[in-house]
Amino acid sequence: MTKSLEALWARGRELLGCEYAIMGGAMSWVSERHLVAALSNAGAFGVIAASSMPPELLDKEIKATQALTQKPFGVNLILMHPQLAELVEICIANQVTHVVLAGGMPKGPTINRLKEGGAKVIAFAPTAGIGKKLIRMGVDGLVIEGTEAGGHIGPVSTSVLAQEVLPVITDVPVFVAGGIGRGEAMVSYLEMGASGVQLGTRFVCASESIAHENFKKAFINAAAREATVSVQYHPDFPVIPVRAISNKASEEFTRFQKETVEKVFSGQQSKEEGQLAIEHFWAGSLRKAVIDGDVERGSLMAGQSVGMVNKIQTCQEIIDELVAQAQAYLGEVAA
């Protein structure tokens, strides 16, 4: 007999403390107070993208989000942030219930400090082996994200990653991310053993999202095949692949890499300066698109599920639609 949706994601709901075990992906410039609070108020779980925020800005963002919702929400911290320790303390001081650690392998003291401060810790696991190590380090939950996702991505597809990880990791709830745009897909991963899912691209065009109208139009008009992966120009200058809707910025990134590599080889820049410049390209480019609306020269980071984004909806409408699709797939009567 098929399990009900409520039973399938019971562990995820319990960990997050929300009605639906749907985490919002932490998208720089997009996942701020308005979208995060709207997702939590709709029964899902919003996550603030701390990204490169300094501690004082994150403090304001958390407080502003708390003023908009009484429901649980999380904060996503990038492990390479130079002020990570201070950001951790800001989360603890504001009694943030959940912290998501991303962008590398967290250190034991970081996990321990967060847990001592009362927060649940969730981390990204690119392999089953790393997932098991993170569990031994004390994390409360894991996210496995496939290459179909938007922004900085790994090399393995969501479906393969799910098959590798879900059968062997049952100690903590696991959330699947990357390319999920409908309720039927959510259920398929829940039935494989996931405790919940994480969606980002699907919420960019929420009416509560502060993303520029031009940015949202680009998502609505894009097909899945247009969300392509950036190309690395030189093997000595590795870059984390980025998935975004193809535009002039995609072409400029390749050209920028070429120019930067030439500067390094000619002695105008050190290799470290060159690598940093290449990495910083996307941060400024993303703001240009999301906030300023420059969809030609700004970065349109999007997952391949962008083809399923076809209109502006409230967060509540999107969540209700996903849940109704999941229930229909399971043969349940939608509430």
Bridge pairing between strands 242-245 and 227-229: antiparallel
250-294 pLDDT tens trace: 888 889 999 999 999 999 999 888 887 887 787 788 999 999 999
pLDDT one-digit tens code per residue, 19-53: 999 999 999 999 999 999 999 999 999 999 999 89
**87 burial level (CB within 10 Å; 0-12, 13-18, 19+):** buried
pLDDT tens digit string along 311-320? Answer: 999 999 999 9
pTM of the predicted model, to two decimals? Answer: 0.94
In the prediction, which pLDDT does 332 show? 73
- What pLDDT is stored for residue 275 in this prediction? 80
Q: What are phi and psi of 188, to 5 degrees?
A: -60, -40
Residues 110-149: tens digit of each pLDDT? 999 999 999 999 999 999 999 999 999 999 999 999 999 9
Burial of 263 from C-beta contacts in 10 A (0-12 / 13-18 / 19+): middle
The Cα–Cα gap between 83 and 70 comes to 28
Q: Which fold has domain 5-210+308-327?
A: TIM Barrel (3.20.20)
What pLDDT does 203 receive?
Answer: 98
CB-based burial label for 68 (10 Å; 0-12, 13-18, 19+): middle
Is the pLDDT reported for residue 8 higher than 70? yes
Q: How many CB atoms lie within 10 A of CB 230?
A: 22
47-49 vs 22-24, strand pairing mode: unpaired
Round to whole Å and give the CA distance between 180 and 303. 9
Q: Which pLDDT band, with edges at 50, 70 and 90, does 2 fall under?
A: low
Task: Determine the pLDDT at residue 27.
Answer: 96
Q: Where are the domains of the chain?
A: 5-210+308-327, 223-301
R_g (Cα) of the chain, nearest Å: 19
* Torsion angle of C-alpha atoms 35, 192, 134, 149, degrees rounded to 10: -40
Please tell me the predicted confidence (pLDDT) of residue 333: 55
Separation CA 237–CA 243 (nearest Å) = 18
Q: What is the mean pLDDT of the chain?
A: 95
pLDDT digits (tens, 9 = 90+) for 149-207: 999 899 999 999 999 999 999 999 999 999 999 999 999 999 999 999 999 999 999 99
What's the pLDDT tens digit per position in 58-104? 999 999 999 999 999 999 999 989 999 999 999 999 999 999 999 99
